[in-house]
């Protein structure tokens, strides 16, 4: 209070009281504003802390992508379960669990015996020799004549040394006879019919086209590196020449690529994945009047040309048949749903992929002709990204998901009805456990906040639970889409080398050629031998595309099967099977 004496009259007292009331009101207002500022600062700080955590998680994720372990193989840690199917499983589940453990022990024993057998075979056979079909020549290295006087030759020590001879280019001069009637000039010149060549005037043999295409889409060598490869053999073509040769090969084999795509759509389940690629913006709009996707392409290109963008992000799509040995690729100018919708316009079955909105709603757009199934590898990947912040919860969830893979591994050799029965009993039992754990206290606030990375990963699983559950309804649906994801590595490796596509036509040519080469690789074929044969047959006018599919051609040309690829895949599958079997035999 003011130390001055209080006023004696009433009016002065009222004025003093009013003055003090105004001062108190201003003070309360100031305190309120300060409190509001403190709350705003606290809110801003909380947002910054949340942003900081999010950025740190992003940095951790990027560092893992750059320098971390690329394999998604699960590593045992705290909270890891070993084929545990719950505390009170049904008798059927108990029986299956006991059977799985017995099978696992047998698998481990067989693997150990195979390992010992391979070691014995290596010791017995000694050093491996080069294949017998390779041409050989002899070079005798003798002791100098002065030092072998009085000695008797008793034999030679043989040492095989493999040599590399660069490609040998040859020019074939074909002379077509010309005849003319000596008196009847009206008959004109008579000459034998000339076969269809790869390019005009038959300047390049089919073998050159095979090398250009195989080098680019099998060995991932761009044209400027191919110039060096051909230059080492004495001929240096221009890049435009190599481009024309690729165009000619694709034109001849385009019906084969379309036929392979038709075969793929006969499979009950198709996997789909995509990846981006740069497409150079054209200086002028190409003629798209006859193109089935002309409207969409025109919209994207016009927008890029109007805004002055030098390039746009186009898309390659990969399609992987779950049962039939074929793959297919498609090219679009954007990541728009018209890609899968067009390719699968006459497909009836299941589509498995990530939970992109275009895949989720394909069932509605196709009038239930296509059923979408979600990929468990994507769900597990999102959970695994949270390992550093929530090690116990992640270990539990990944262990349960690992049980799903163990069930698949256990029933892989069974018939389709038996596999479906195991999925509907064992896999659904594990799914019930996952659902229960997602609803448990360990996954609720405050232990796991909804906006945390694990909270969002759990929400992802809950949101797509029906699609993740769909593999238990159809035996043709795999547990994940990893095979198709592996297929897309071919695009990623190629993109790293040839960098971009120069036009829409170039992207579509690449998709067709990768369809043919990708299907040949899936069948473990010698890509060069396969391309050479089917290209020559196509140029000769043959149209029996079914006999030219890789799986049909494989049966007629067993000598062109890359047996070592079959062995590698079998050995990798055996290692995975043994690793999972060892995990199943452990105690909790």
Q: What is the pLDDT along the chain (588 residues), one digit of tens a residue?
A: 555 677 777 877 778 788 888 888 888 888 888 888 888 888 888 788 778 877 877 787 777 767 766 666 555 544 445 555 555 566 666 666 666 667 767 777 777 777 777 666 655 554 567 888 889 999 999 888 888 888 888 989 888 888 888 888 999 899 999 888 888 888 888 888 888 888 888 899 999 999 999 999 999 999 999 999 999 888 999 999 999 999 999 999 999 999 999 999 999 999 999 999 999 999 888 888 888 888 899 999 999 999 989 999 999 999 999 999 999 999 999 888 878 999 999 999 999 999 888 888 888 899 999 999 999 999 999 999 888 888 899 999 998 998 898 888 888 888 999 999 999 988 999 999 999 999 999 998 888 888 888 999 999 999 999 999 999 999 999 999 999 999 999 888 888 787 788 889 999 999 999 999 999 999 999 999 999 999 999 999 999 999 999 999 999 999 999 988 888 888 888 887 787 777 767 644
Closest listed residue to residue 433, CA positions, set 396, 406, 405? 396
Model pTM score: 0.81
Give dist(CA 270, CA 259) in Å, integer: 16
Distances (CA, A) of 239 to 190, 224, 225, 280, 532: 38, 7, 10, 17, 22
Task: Give per-residue burial for 341-370: e unless 16+ CB within 10 Å, then b.
Answer: eebbeebebbbbbbbbebbbebbeebeeeb
In this structure, the number of other CB atoms found within 10 A of the CB of residue 411 comes to 20
Torsion sign (Cα): 409, 411, 417, 420: negative
Spatial contact of 585 and 577, defined as CB atoms under 8 Å apart: no
Spatial contact of 408 and 475, defined as CB atoms under 8 Å apart: no
Q: Is the peptide bond before 41 cis (omega within 30 degrees of 0)?
A: no
Give dist(CA 306, CA 588) in Å, integer: 64
- Residue 424 per-residue DSSP state: I
Give dist(CA 568, CA 570) in Å, integer: 5
Determine what percent of the chain falls in helix, strand and coil, rounding each to the nearest 5.
55, 10, 35
């Amino acid at each position: 209070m003011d130390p001055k004496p209080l006023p004696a009259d009433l009016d002065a007292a009222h004025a003093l009281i009013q003055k003090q009331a105004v001062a108190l009101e201003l003070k309360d207002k100031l305190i309120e504003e300060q409190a509001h500022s403190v709350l705003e600062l606290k809110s801003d700080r909380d947002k910054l802390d949340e942003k900081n955590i999010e950025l740190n998680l992003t940095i951790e994720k990027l560092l893992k992508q750059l320098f971390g372990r690329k394999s998604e193989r699960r590593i045992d840690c705290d909270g890891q379960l070993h084929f545990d199917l719950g505390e009170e499983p049904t008798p059927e589940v108990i029986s299956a669990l006991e059977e799985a453990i017995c099978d696992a022990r047998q698998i481990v024993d067989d693997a150990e015996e195979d390992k010992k057998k391979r070691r014995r075979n290596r010791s017995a056979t000694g050093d491996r020799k080069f294949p017998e079909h390779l041409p050989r020549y002899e070079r005798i290295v003798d002791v100098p004549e002065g030092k072998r006087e009085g000695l008797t030759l008793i034999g030679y020590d043989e040492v095989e040394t493999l040599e590399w001879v660069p490609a040998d280019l040859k020019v074939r001069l074909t002379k077509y006879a010309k005849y003319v009637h000596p008196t009847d000039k009206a008959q004109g010149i008579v000459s034998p019919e000339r076969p269809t060549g790869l390019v005009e005037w038959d300047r390049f043999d089919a073998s050159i086209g095979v090398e250009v295409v195989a080098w680019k889409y099998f060995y991932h060598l761009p044209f400027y590196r191919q110039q060096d490869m051909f230059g080492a053999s004495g001929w240096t073509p221009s890049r435009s020449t190599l481009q024309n040769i690729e165009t000619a090969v694709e034109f001849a084999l385009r019906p084969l690529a379309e036929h392979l795509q038709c075969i793929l759509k006969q499979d009950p389940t198709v996997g789909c994945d995509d990846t981006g690629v740069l497409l150079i913006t054209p200086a002028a709009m190409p003629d798209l009047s006859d193109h089935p996707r002309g409207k969409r392409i025109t919209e994207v290109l016009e927008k890029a040309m109007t805004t002055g963008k030098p390039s746009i992000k186009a898309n390659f799509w990969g399609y992987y048949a779950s049962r039939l040995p074929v793959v297919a690729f498609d090219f679009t100018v954007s990541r728009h749903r018209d890609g899968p919708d067009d390719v699968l316009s006459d497909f009836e079955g299941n589509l498995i992929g990530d939970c992109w909105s275009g895949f989720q709603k394909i069932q509605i757009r196709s009038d239930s002709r296509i059923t979408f199934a979600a990929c468990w590898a994507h769900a597990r990947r999102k959970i695994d990204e949270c390992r550093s912040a929530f090690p116990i919860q992640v270990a539990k969830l990944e262990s349960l998901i690992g049980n799903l893979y163990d069930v698949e591994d256990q029933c892989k050799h069974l018939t389709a009805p038996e596999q479906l029965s195991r999925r509907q009993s064992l896999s659904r039992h594990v799914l019930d456990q996952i659902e229960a754990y997602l609803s448990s206290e360990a996954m609720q606030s405050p232990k796991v906040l909804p906006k945390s990375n694990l909270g969002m990963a759990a929400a992802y699983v809950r949101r797509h639970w029906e699609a993740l559950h769909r593999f238990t309804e159809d035996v043709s649906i795999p547990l994940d889409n990893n095979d198709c994801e592996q297929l897309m590595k071919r695009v990623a490796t190629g993109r790293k080398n040839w960098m971009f596509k120069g036009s829409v036509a170039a992207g579509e040519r690449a998709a067709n050629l990768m369809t043919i080469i990708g299907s040949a690789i899936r069948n473990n074929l010698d890509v060069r031998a396969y391309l050479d044969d089917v290209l020559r047959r196509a140029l000769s006018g043959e149209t029996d595309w079914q006999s030219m599919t890789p799986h049909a051609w494989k049966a007629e040309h067993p000598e062109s099967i890359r047996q070592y690829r079959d062995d590698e895949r079998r050995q990798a599958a055996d290692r995975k099977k043994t690793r999972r079997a060892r995990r199943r035999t452990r105690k909790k």
